[in-house]
Amino acid sequence: AKAEARGAFRFFEAEMDARLQARRLLERDLRQAVADESFEVYYQPIYSLAAERVCGFEALLRWNHPERGFISPAEFIPIAEEMGLIVPLGEWVLARACADAVRWPDGLKIAVNVSAVQFTSASLVTAVREALRSTGLPGRRLELEITESVLVANPGVTTAILHSLKGLGVRVSMDDFGTGYSSLSYLRSFPFDKIKIDQSFVRDLCEEDGTDFIVRAVIGLGASLGMTTTAEGVETEAQLLRLRAEGCDEVQGYLFSRPVPIGQVAGLIARWNGA
Ligand code: C2E
Ligand code: CA
Ligand code: CA
Ligand code: CA
């Protein structure tokens, strides 16, 4: 039994070594990729149910790793945060997305994700101002998506940053709403323009014991706070019908389109909004 335990431990150790090794390699490649700017920004359309047309796109980062192929941002963003690389990487996405969006028809907005670490970094407001200035994109066409974690960490600082951003004319959205720890009433104290209903709630819409009542509550909350509501991860006609019936303002998901490279954006705009 003792020998067996020792064997199991060695196996465990080897496993740990392999994981650490893989992580170190990924860190090295990520550092290199940030230096070389070897990322791409993909765009997913956001569809307005009232206007019945695409009203903007969300910028989603893609890393095409030389050996491993596409690596999900859900995997590499947390590592970039830990390594302090998220600030330069996030600023690169911001500049790229603004430069792409300024060529689209004027009504279309661009939504850019901002990680909690980047949000509270000293350079965020300057980086946003600079991205707008250098590309000529009007502030009203830029939306920044922020998750609940930034609210809980330091509400005073967060409020100040949000107001500076609003001073630039930029809109701010609460992303993945309902998955964090902030309460419904908490949202009221921050000047958000939009609530994004997390895809975990959209997925279980119309299911038995589904999340319809949660989605209804969030849409009602948004309406009473004067905020736009956007549902993400919409994959089926049934989900779309329900969201429309509940008065959701905007939808986003594979039902309309997956995120696409910049070269396919004009085609999507033509397809949904006419030439
Ligand atoms: P998110 O901000 O919640 O983005 C939505 C995610 O859902 C994206 O995954 C998108 O591709 C995916 N999605 C869209 N429609 C559907 C659908 O109908 N069904 C399903 N199952 N998924 C759908 P993605 O691109 O892999 O990004 C994952 C997360 O990584 C994002 O979640 C965001 O938190 C983060 N991320 C992506 N790009 C950036 C970035 O530039 N900066 C920062 N800080 N985070 C980013
Ligand atoms: Ca987002
Ligand atoms: Ca989201
Ligand atoms: Ca998410």
Residues 125-160: pLDDT tens digits? 999 999 999 999 999 999 999 998 888 778 888 999
Going from the Cα of 53 to the center of ligand 1, the distance in angstroms, rounded, reads 21
Dist CA 180 CA 15 (whole Å): 32
Global pTM reads 0.94
| pLDDT tens-digit readout, 180-202 | 776 777 788 899 999 999 999 99
| DSSP helix/strand/coil, 192 | coil
Going from the Cα of 241 to the center of ligand 1, the distance in angstroms, rounded, reads 23
Ligand in closest contact with the CA of 45: 1
Dist CA 252 CA 125 (whole Å): 27
| pLDDT tens-digit readout, 163-174 | 999 999 999 999
User: Which tokens is 194 given?
Assistant: 């939009």
| pLDDT tens-digit readout, 27-70 | 999 999 988 888 999 999 999 999 999 999 999 999 999 888 99
Going from the Cα of 2 to the center of ligand 1, the distance in angstroms, rounded, reads 47
Contact criterion met (CB below 8 Å) for 145 and 162: no
Dist CA 145 CA 184 (whole Å): 18
What's the complex ipTM? 0.98
